[in-house]
Each structure stands twice: as structure tokens, then as C-alpha cells.
Amino acid sequence: MITLGIDIGSLTAKGVLLKDNSILEKHLIQVGYNSKKAGDKLLAELLEKASIDRTEIARIVATGYGRNSIDFADKAVSEIICHGKGIHFLLPDTRTIIDIGGQDSKVIILNAKGTVVNFVMNDKCAAGTGRFLDVMARAMETEIQYFGELSLQSKNPAEISSVCTVFAESEIVSLVAKGENREDITSGIHLSIGRRIYSMVRRVGMVEPVAMSGGVALNIGVIDALEKLLKTEIKTSPLAQYGGALGAALLAVNE
Amino acid sequence: MAERLKATKEMKRIMRRYYAQAKYAHYMGKKVAWITSGGPVEPLIAMNIIPVYPENHGAMLGASKKGGQLSEFAEGLGYSPDVCSYVKDDIASTITKESPIKGGLPQPDMLICSNNICGTVLKWYEIQARNFNVPLFIYDTPFVHTEFTEEAKEYIKEQTKEYILFLEKVMGRKFNYKKMDKVGRYSLQSMKLWKEILDTAAHKPSPMTAFDAFFHLALIVTLRGKKIVLRYYKTLLKELQERNTKNIGAVDNEKYRLLWDNLPIWFRMRWLSDKFANHQAALVADTYTQAWCGVIDYIDENDFLGTMGEAYTRIHLNVGVDQMADTIKDFIRKFDVDGLVMHSNRSCKPYSFGQYDIQNLIKDMDIPVLMIEADMTDDRKFSESQVEARIDAFMEVIKEKKRTK
């Protein structure tokens, strides 16, 4: 049986085709302003990539912010459950999952069987979210994929005290004006988002081992900052960005 | 969805008549007092003064989706965006006359302010006392950190005495102790009835939801001490008991039971109620409406005036978080709930401040907790897709938990 999981986030749309408990194909595109269109495009490109026909897909589950705009999905499920399922599949012994999304950050606690037992999400402010990193990378004129590596080269991280995305940006502008180097400022930015996530993890109560899901898991700077703050190893998978979509595809099997 | 409660219609009629009477009070030679929601209203009724609640008006403004607009107006006057939206709505409405009541609230002849609900009310009522140029009485309740001390007891008794002297002075006549005795009895009886009403929700399925309680609360807030409250609540109670005998739930096929903490989000009542009902979840109880019957045990029906001070001092918002957490634990057990929904209310600091501590204190109850960031009337502080994502995730966790139990 083939199932499809679609994760429409605020920035990227991810799709995973699952066949007999293994990943058949995966695909990622930018969402743009219309999540419904993004869903249609993702499906078409994914089918082509996998060389299968739409009729071969038994069931489709959608997740992420745009989940309710995917009219061809059989069911919409929130990201919490999907990331839980996805990461449990990729890294089976994980008990705490950190996911930093475009406009939401979440910390999810699983029991030994991989069932979600608790979670916490960021408050209304965008400070602890992926958007924060995006805005800061732009302020530093660095491509987001090199942002994390740049921060690792720092010897003396700069202090970013503001938790507000807008104010932190102006703080960075003044640090640049003061002549602080890029590596140190970038490291300070990663520690700043790390501290926001750290307090969320503490609020819900960390259970080891800890893993990261979502696109930000590819950012080595965030992983490094979190490992320092949480004093534990943070596991990731090369497929972490597909964690939500994979979970949705897994859920579609049992629906 | 179960039909609306039949009693609702009568309730609307009573409230309309109450506001009409308040509006024309001056024509009938009566005086109007504005009073805070937790203030001691019974002596006013005993003195034939019509009490008016700006907070009830604030709820009405919120429900009619005027909260954001009025807050914006008040911010234009210089009030900080962090000031309580009931305060901003009231101050703005006094100027703009924007209100579901034609022409806004009737002008006060005096203001009665009790700080048992928060500290903000002090400045709010001072501002309005200057604005209307009317006398203000502050009924000062000491905060009950851990215990209600003898000193606090003495102090609050003095407050009650001063309150009576204030009323005698403003009204130019002696206090009516005989009527006070009757009013006190009615008030206590209506609190007891209100408790019975809320307790019907312990039944499965629950005959009412917190959204019903938020609505029917208006009477115990505004008119307690009046006989009409007793009559109405008896009718409502009967209807709820009938539902329970017939096993009629307020939410179709109720599967999950939730507890709500903090004030309602007045402008999103229907949306939230539908949202939870779609998950077959009923908000069966809440800490807010319970506050009007949580202090029954401190009142002596034969000495209402002498004991009301302790009751008004020991209400839910004037006690430490340990006691608040204990109350929540009691509700979790009594109403057998599967999850707790906490509204982190931008406006109400004393209600929202301890919520994370309370979460820690109730960890042993092992139920999921959802935090919704919003405001009781300011719709600018509400983000629909964020709240929706959190509710869906929360309900999925509850379902998953119940399934694997």
C-alpha cells in the first residue's frame, strides 16, 4: 500500500510517499503565498518523481499550517502528532522532540512507545521560531544554509539580549556598527534562539534522548547552541525536514 | 448540538429590564453606583441603590466585538497597550458612548471599588471618580498569601464599617440593617443555587458547558441579593436536572471533558465552542464562574454583613497560587476532566501571572494543559490560525492518551 503525507508549512511544503513501511520518494518546494496551489504542485511533482499514478495512493494525510487547504487529503492532522510519529520512525528511542518551524516552535514529549504525551508551543511572539533565523540571516547578509556553520567559527559569542525579532535585528545593526565580527554576532543569534527553546524544554520537562525535527535541524549552529544549553546530545536525521510529512504518511497507513 | 437552554430567553429579558431600570434610575429618584465585579454589592441593594458593573459592560462590548476598537481609542488617549482592556473599553465608551446599551452605561452617583480582583481597578476607579466628579469608596481587601490572619479579619471588619458610613453619608440616611439581613440571605441562597447549577456539569454527559456558565453568570454578578435571581436560577437548575435525567448533553456525543481557566474570550465564544464541540469535547467547568460560589463556607447567613468581608477577601483571585492550584485540582477530580485549557489573558495579570506555576503544581494530576494566548475583549490580541493549531494538537494528544490508556 502506498500512502502520502503532506506537510504544508509557512515557508516550505514537504511530501513523503510511503510504501510498505519505507520511504518511496520525498519532495520539497517553497510554499509561496498560496498553500492550496503549493499542495497541488507538490503532488504533481512528487508523482512524476516517483513515476506512479495518483490512483496508486491509498490514502493522504495533510499536516502543517496549510493542512486544511489541501482538499485532496483524506484527513488533516496537527503537526504535533505527525512530528511525533515521524521522528519515532526515524530515531525510535527519542523521548523529546524539538521542532522549530517557520512561525511555531514546539517541544514534544513521547512515551517509550512513541505516543505523544505532552507538548508545549511558543507563545504568540515569533522570537523562538524559524522566522527569527531567517530575518537574522538576512540582516547578516548570509545564506540561511551557511548561517549555522558561520556561528561555529565564533570564539566569543556576542550578547543578543532582546527576545523580540524586530528589536534583536536593530541590536545586531548596532553590533555591526560597533565592529563586532560576523561569526560572534551569528553565534549570539543562535544562542538567543537556543535560550528561547531551552526555556520551553524546561517548561515541559526534558526526557532524554532528545532529537530535532523540521528544517532547522539541518542548522548545525542551532544544534550546537541547544547542546550547550541543555547539556545533552541532540540527535538528528538527514530526513529531519521531512519529519512531519513522514509522520502524516505513517498515520495514513493506520487510518 | 443540543438545543439552547430554554431559560436563556428569560435571562435576556431580566438583563434588559435591569439595564433599562439602571438607565432611568435618575428619573425614578434612585441613585446609581458603579462597582467592580468582586465588590460587596449587597449593602447597595439594601440601600436601594442600583449597582452597575463596568466589567459586565466590558464583557458585552467584547462579545459585540468592539473591544479592539475601543482599546485603540483609549491607547490614543495615552493609555498603554498593556492596560487591561476592560479599563480601556470603559474609559473609551464613556467618551464615545459606543455600547450595546443605547448611550452607554448610566452615569454613576458614586463608585465602589474593591481590589480583591486586581490592583488596576484602583486607578481605573480613581480616573472615573475624577471624570464624573463623584465620591469613591475603596473596599481594601488584604491579599491572602497563605492564610487569612486575625489581623486581616479585624481590618476587613473595619472596612465594612467604613463602607456603611460612606453609604449613609452619600445617601443622607441611616443604613437599613433590616433590609440588609434579607438581602444577605438572598445573596447567599443565590450563590448556593449557582453552585448547584455548576455542579450539574459533573454528570456525564454534561448538560451545560462553560460557555453557558459564562452567559448565565451575568445574574449572579449584577443582581445577587435580589429575589429574581433565585427565581431564575431555580428554573435554570430544573432544566439542567431534567437534561441529566434524560442524559442530554450540551455537546453531541461528549467524549472528552475539559476545564477552562481565566476569563472567557468574549469575542470568540461561538468559534471556540464550535471548535471544541467538533472534537466532541465539552468544557464542563471553569475557574472563573466558580469564583461566585467559592466562598460560601465563609458566610454566616445570620450575620451576612459581619462575615462578608472574609468571603470577599478570600475569593479565587485574592489568594496565593498554591490555593489556586488546589482549587483546580478539586475541579479536575470533581468534574473528571481530561485536560486543562488555560487562557493566558493579556488583560488580566493576576489571573494569568501564576499559570505556569499552577501547571507545575498540578503535574501529579497527569493531564495535558493547553495555553491559549489572547485577551478577554481585545480582538487584536487573538491569532486564529495559531490558536486553531494549538487546539487541534491538544485534542489529538488527549485522544491519543485516552486511546492508549
Residues A176 and A232 in one domain: yes
Residues A165 and A248 in one domain: no
Task: Let me know: does B370 contact B315? Beta carbons within 8 Å.
Answer: no
Hey, are the CB atoms on B396 and A80 less than 8 Å from each other?
yes
Strand partners, B373: B344
Residue B29 in any domain: the answer is yes
Q: In terms of residue numbers, what domain contains A208? A: 95-236
ipTM over 0.90: no
Q: What is the pLDDT of residue B85?
A: 97
Nearest chain B residue to A115 by CA distance is: B400
Q: Choosing among A121, A204, A254, which should be mutated to test the B contact, i.e. which has the most B CBs within 10 A? A: A121
Hey, are the CB atoms on B356 and A123 less than 8 Å from each other?
no
Q: In terms of residue numbers, what domain contains B348? A: 179-404
* Cα pseudo-dihedral B329, B333, B338, B344, rounded to 10: -30
Averaged pLDDT, B5-18: 92
CA–CA gap between residue B214 and residue B237 (Å, rounded): 15
Q: What is the pLDDT of residue A215?
A: 87
Residue B43 in any domain: the answer is yes
- pLDDT greater than 70 at residue B43: yes
Q: What is the CATH number of the domain that holds B66?
A: 3.40.50.11890
SS3 for B237-294 is HHHHHHHHHCCCCCCCCCCEEEEEECCCCHHHHHHHHHHHHHCCEEEEEEHHHHCCCC
- Residues A132-187: tens digit of each pLDDT: 888 889 888 888 888 999 999 999 999 888 778 888 888 888 898 998 999 999 99
Please write down the long-range contacts of B383-387, taking CB distance under 8 Å and 24 or more positions apart: B383/A124, B384/B271, B385/A65, B386/A103, B386/A104, B386/A124
Residues A130 and A4 in one domain: no
Q: Which residue has the higher pLDDT, A11 or B245?
A: B245
Residues A102 and A162 in one domain: yes
Query: How many domains, chain A?
Result: 2
* Chain B nearest CA to A52, separation (Å): 32
Chain B hits for A80, CB-CB cut-off 8 Å, are 393, 396-397
Q: Is B384 at the interface with chain A, CB within 8 A?
A: no
- pLDDT greater than 70 at residue A8: yes
Hey, are the CB atoms on A116 and B390 less than 8 Å from each other?
no
- pLDDT greater than 90 at residue B403: no
Q: What is the pLDDT of residue A76?
A: 94
- Name, in order, each residue with C-beta under 8 angstroms of B184's C-beta and a sequence gap of 6 or more: B42, B225, B299, B301, B304, B305, B308
Residue B139 in any domain: the answer is yes
Q: Choosing among A124, A129, A199, which should be mutated to test the B contact, i.e. which has the most B CBs within 10 A? A: A124
Residues A75 and A3 in one domain: yes
Residues A219 and A254 in one domain: no
Among the listed residues A125, A116, A200, A135, the one whose alpha carbon sits nearest the alpha carbon of residue B399: A116
Contacting B with CB below 8 Å, chain A residues are 65, 77-81, 103-104, 106, 113, 115-121, 123-124, 203
CA–CA gap between residue B118 and residue B280 (Å, rounded): 35
Pairing of strands A116-121, A105-110: antiparallel
Q: What is the pLDDT of residue B1?
A: 54
Q: What is the pLDDT of residue A150?
A: 92
- pLDDT greater than 90 at residue B79: yes
Residues A221 and A187 in one domain: yes
Residue A37: in which H helix or E strand, if any?
A: helix A35-50
Nearest chain B residue to A104 by CA distance is: B386
Averaged pLDDT, B205-219: 95
Pairing of strands A22-30, A12-19: antiparallel
Q: What is the pLDDT of residue B137?
A: 98
Among the listed residues B306, B317, B315, B318, the one whose alpha carbon sits nearest the alpha carbon of residue B42: B306
Residue B30 in any domain: the answer is yes
Nearest chain A residue to B404 by CA distance is: A115
Residues A69 and A160 in one domain: no
- Residues B316-329: tens digit of each pLDDT: 999 999 999 999 99
Q: Looking at the partner chain, which of A104, A120, A203 has a beta carbon nearest the beta carbon of B389?
A: A104
Q: Choosing among B358, B361, B365, B386, which should be mutated to test the A contact, i.e. which has the most A CBs within 10 A? A: B386
Task: Let me know: does A155 contact A188? Beta carbons within 8 Å.
Answer: no
For helices B120-132 and B85-96, give the axis angle rounded to 10 degrees: 10
Q: Looking at the partner chain, which of A79, A81, A124 has a beta carbon nearest the beta carbon of B400?
A: A81
Q: Per-residue b/e over B273-305, b at no fewer than 16 CB within 10 Å?
A: bebbbebbbbbbbbbbbbbbbbbeebbeeeebb
- pLDDT greater than 70 at residue B300: yes
Q: What is the CATH number of the domain that holds A209?
A: 3.30.420.40
- End-to-end alpha carbon distance in chain A: 12
Residues B252 and B283 in one domain: yes
Q: Is B371 at the interface with chain A, CB within 8 A?
A: yes
- Name, in order, each residue with C-beta under 8 angstroms of B309's C-beta and a sequence gap of 6 or more: B40, B141, B153, B156, B157, B159, B160
Quick one: what percent of chain A has pLDDT higher than 70? Answer: 100
Residues A17 and A29 in one domain: yes
Pairing of strands A96-100, A105-110: antiparallel
Q: What is the pLDDT of residue B336?
A: 97
Residues A197 and A103 in one domain: yes
- Residues B229-287: tens digit of each pLDDT: 999 999 999 999 999 999 999 999 999 999 999 999 999 999 999 999 999 999 999 99
- pLDDT greater than 80 at residue A126: no
- pLDDT greater than 80 at residue B2: no
Hey, are the CB atoms on A65 and B389 less than 8 Å from each other?
yes
Angle at CA of residue A81, ends A75 and A84, nearest 5°: 135
Residues B261 and B320 in one domain: yes
Quick one: what percent of chain B has pLDDT higher than 90? Answer: 95
Residues B255 and B350 in one domain: yes
Burial class (CB in 10 A: 0-12, 13-18, 19+), B53: buried
CA–CA gap between residue B145 and residue B320 (Å, rounded): 5
Residues B130 and B237 in one domain: no
Q: Is B349 at the interface with chain A, CB within 8 A?
A: no
Residue B131: in which H helix or E strand, if any?
A: helix B120-132
- pLDDT greater than 80 at residue B110: yes
Q: What is the pLDDT of residue B125?
A: 98
Pairing of strands A210-213, A96-100: parallel
- pLDDT greater than 80 at residue B293: yes
Residue B3 in any domain: the answer is no
Hey, are the CB atoms on B393 and A117 less than 8 Å from each other?
no
- What's the grid cell of residue A56? 496508486
Chain A hits for B392, CB-CB cut-off 8 Å, are 77-78
Residues B306 and B257 in one domain: yes
- pLDDT greater than 80 at residue B16: yes
Residues A251 and A194 in one domain: no
Residue with cell 454527559: B205
Pairing of strands B32-35, B369-374: unpaired
Hey, are the CB atoms on B393 and A79 less than 8 Å from each other?
yes
Residues B162 and B273 in one domain: no
CA–CA gap between residue B140 and residue B309 (Å, rounded): 10
Residues B32 and B63 in one domain: yes
Hey, are the CB atoms on B397 and A121 less than 8 Å from each other?
no
Sheet containing B50-52, strands listed edge to edge, beginning at the edge strand earlier in sequence: B50-52, B32-35, B110-114, B136-139
Quick one: what percent of chain B has pLDDT higher than 70? Answer: 100
For helices A182-204 and A165-177, give the axis angle rounded to 10 degrees: 150
Other Cβ atoms less than 10 A from the Cβ of B329: the count is 15
Residues B138 and B259 in one domain: no
CA–CA gap between residue B328 and residue B326 (Å, rounded): 5
**What is the amino acid identity at position B205?**
P
Q: Which residue has the higher pLDDT, B56 or A114?
A: B56
- Residues A211-237: tens digit of each pLDDT: 999 889 989 999 999 999 999 999 999
Task: Let me know: does B186 contact B225? Beta carbons within 8 Å.
Answer: yes
Among the listed residues A60, A53, A42, the one whose alpha carbon sits nearest the alpha carbon of residue A248: A60
CA–CA gap between residue A166 and residue B342 (Å, rounded): 28
Residues A221 and A103 in one domain: yes
Q: Looking at the partner chain, which of B368, B390, B400 has a beta carbon nearest the beta carbon of A121?
A: B390
Q: What is the pLDDT of residue B220?
A: 94
Averaged pLDDT, B144-167: 95
Average pLDDT along chain A: 91
Q: What is the pLDDT of residue B302?
A: 96
Residues B240 and B384 in one domain: yes
Residues B137 and B49 in one domain: yes
Q: Looking at the partner chain, which of A65, A116, A124 has a beta carbon nearest the beta carbon of B400?
A: A116
Strand partners, B339: B258
Q: What is the pLDDT of residue B75?
A: 95
3-state secondary structure of B172: coil
Residues B247 and B264 in one domain: yes
Q: Is B402 at the interface with chain A, CB within 8 A?
A: no
Q: What is the CATH number of the domain that holds B222?
A: 3.40.50.11900
CA–CA gap between residue B86 and residue B377 (Å, rounded): 7
Q: Which residue has the higher pLDDT, B47 or A254?
A: B47
Sheet containing A22-30, strands listed edge to edge, beginning at the edge strand earlier in sequence: A22-30, A12-19, A2-8, A57-63, A75-76
Choosing from B141, B175, B209, the residue where a domain stops is B175
Hey, are the CB atoms on A81 and B389 less than 8 Å from each other?
no
- pLDDT greater than 90 at residue B375: yes
Choosing from B124, B146, B175, the residue where a domain stops is B175
Burial class (CB in 10 A: 0-12, 13-18, 19+), B10: middle
Choosing from B175, B208, B225, the residue where a domain stops is B175
Hey, are the CB atoms on B393 and A78 less than 8 Å from each other?
yes
Query: How many domains, chain B?
Result: 2
Hey, are the CB atoms on A115 and B344 less than 8 Å from each other?
no
Interface of B with A in 278-297 (CB under 8 A): none
Hey, are the CB atoms on B392 and A119 less than 8 Å from each other?
no
Residue B227 in any domain: the answer is yes
Residues B24 and B134 in one domain: yes
